[in-house]
């Protein structure tokens, strides 16, 4: 995927660097997503598609930030690392994210984004379980 597509979404975020407590930062990010998700669900339920763009932009930015952080990477909005180089990511991420970025107002894009967040959270949890088991053995 072309990084030029994701840069505008990153520029709207107040990007935070990875600090020592990545788990807490990701927990805060997921809480932000839950708040945005509730807002978006209400807008789509009321068929107010025009008002969803700002929330979707924020949600897309949070997903991209989550994607990088769960791969222990910093985000640089000027030169992001290609998502092809990230190990922990949902299946068919390129196609799914390209669809969302090209049509952010559609309900189907919201559903895809929601699924991507859920899948990434599962991948991140799996990574932490494996990491914990390896540290216990060593």
CB atoms under 10 Å from CB of 3, counted, come to 13
17-25 long-range contacts (CB < 8 A, ≥24 apart) are 17/74, 18/69, 18/72, 18/73, 18/74, 22/69, 22/72, 23/128, 25/69
The predicted pLDDT at position 22 comes to 85
Nearest of 65, 89, 88 to residue 16 by alpha carbon: 65
Domain span including residue 63: 3-137
pLDDT tens digits, one per residue of 66-87:
999 999 888 776 666 788 889 9
Q: Provide the percentage of residues in the chain whose pLDDT is more than 70.
A: 82
Is it the case that residue 12 has pLDDT exceeding 70?
no
Average pLDDT over residues 18-29: 83
Which helix (H) or strand (E) segment is 4 a member of?
none
Nearest of 60, 125, 126, 127 to residue 93 by alpha carbon: 60
Contact (CB, 8 A) for 104 and 43: no
Question: Of the ranges 21-25, 29-33, 98-102, which one carries the lowest mean pLDDT score?
Answer: 21-25
Count structural domains, the chain.
1
Q: Which residue has the higher pLDDT, 4 or 63?
A: 63
């Amino acid at each position: 995927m072309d990084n030029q597509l994701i840069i505008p979404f990153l520029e709207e975020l107040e990007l935070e660097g990875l600090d020592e407590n990545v788990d807490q930062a990701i927990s805060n990010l997921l809480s932000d997503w839950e708040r945005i998700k509730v807002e978006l669900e209400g807008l789509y339920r009321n068929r107010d598609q025009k008002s969803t763009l700002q929330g979707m932009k924020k949600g897309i930015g949070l997903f991209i930030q989550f994607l990088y952080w769960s791969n222990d990477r910093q985000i640089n909005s000027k030169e992001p690392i290609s998502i092809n180089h990230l190990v922990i990511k949902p299946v068919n991420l390129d196609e799914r994210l390209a669809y969302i970025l090209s049509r952010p107002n559609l309900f189907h894009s919201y559903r895809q984004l929601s699924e991507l967040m859920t899948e990434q959270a599962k991948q991140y949890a799996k990574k932490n379980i494996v990491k914990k088991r390896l540290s216990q053995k060593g």
